[in-house]
Amino acid sequence: MISFEMPKPLVQTRTVVETVAKNMMRPVSREMDENEHEIPWAYIEFMHTATKALGSSSMAPDETAEKKKKEDPEKKKRPPINYQRLMVMVETLSWGDAGIYLCTPGGMLGAAAVSAAGTPEQKKRFLSRFTGKEPVFDAMAMTESQAGSDTSAIRATAVLDENTNEWILNGEKIFVTAGNKALVDSKGFIVVWASLDLEAGRAGIRSFVIEADTPGCKVTKLEEKMGIRASDTASIVMQDCRVPFENILGSPTIEKSTKGYKGAMATFDATRPIVAASALGVARAALEFVQEKLAEAGVEIRYGLPRQKMSNLEREIIDMETQLRQAWLLTIKALWMADNKQSNGAVASMSKVKAGKVASVITQKAVEIMGPVGYSREFLLEKWFRDAKINDIFEGTGQINLLVVARNILGYRGSQLR
């Protein structure tokens, strides 16, 4: 029999993280939203020191936990739950505040890229810094003014200087989540997508790690945004930026196939379900708020009745609950597959599409149901409405992820189905 009960370790993780979300995030949520470029240092410092109690908050696998598991015969028998634990943490922290969650130190998109495409030596070198005394941030820089979802249009370049054995990077990246915290506010790093040969198209694209304080790489702008305002979104310029040869993720050899590009794209198999988890947290916050207000007003949702005997309000609430649960199941499946080393590209994109859409629909419907109260700034509901939309945009738009799903189901290549 299939059990949908959450394993005890995940229940314990959720209980601890709920305390953080309720007591450290919700009370300052409005303040951080209104002061976009202020940094929630109290939350950051707490999360940095609380890693042992909470489990890994990184998008990279917990190497220490894996090592202990190999050494302990009893733990070896237990199914892996690293990514599933991360989902529980991200969903709960995003329920607290999605923007503040994106300020969590300890390894985000950049760490996921290193984990997906890096060598063991690179993983040790770059990911170990998250366990130091000071909070460290990372970011992934892919988007350019002419290259959003179409990564083949990337124009940032990387040229090898054979005299110094260094890569010279030039170009500009925009909409880099946590880019300022990674390069300016901490001794972190960003993972930049650039082309070894513009004429080679996707086959020439590779990822490069640029560390903070690297000459030739600087933040030039901080965006003012509709939602997730506690998180910085930066523009970054690379001008003759030199990085060591060993900072390339993947092979420097350009082949006719897109193997190197696929290695970079593997990052998304882990990160897209995590974005979905964040969307679920925002959606749950909005739905629970509506349910709470309806209960205070004495409105009862009569479960079990035929739909034709329900009020329109009852049907809408039940539909919101159903959609949220469907998205949750898709997301947990994608991350269960990641934990068990199964190929999850199609399911990862499915979860991202579903959760991104569900978050937008639920938060919008919640505002509609609550009327003027939902639209006002008296409560956080209008903020959750604004926060929700980003989950349908970054890590590949909903439309792009639908294409990924269709290609997987139909067996088409990108060139055959666009």
Judge whether 91 counts as a catalytic residue.
no
> Using alpha carbons only, how large is the chain's radius of gyration in Å?
22
Query: What is the rounded distance in angstroms from the CA atom of residue 63 to the CA atom of residue 128?
Result: 9
- How many residues in the chain? 418
Quickly tell me which residue has 């070894």 as its tokens.
Answer: 196
| Rounded-to-integer distance, Cα 66 and Cα 393, Å | 33
144, 211, 382, 395: which one is catalytic? 395
DSSP class per residue in 286-336: HHHHHHHHHHHTT----TTS-GGGS-HHHHHHHHHHHHHHHHHHHHHHHHH
Q: Give the pair of three-digit tokens for residue 311.
A: 């009020």
Q: Is 168 exposed, middle or buried (0-12, 13-18, 19+ CB in 10 A)?
A: middle
CA neighbor of 386 nearest in space, from 232, 228, 175, 223: 228
Task: Measure the CA dihedral 179/90/347/67, to 10°.
Answer: 90
Which residues form the catalytic set?
395
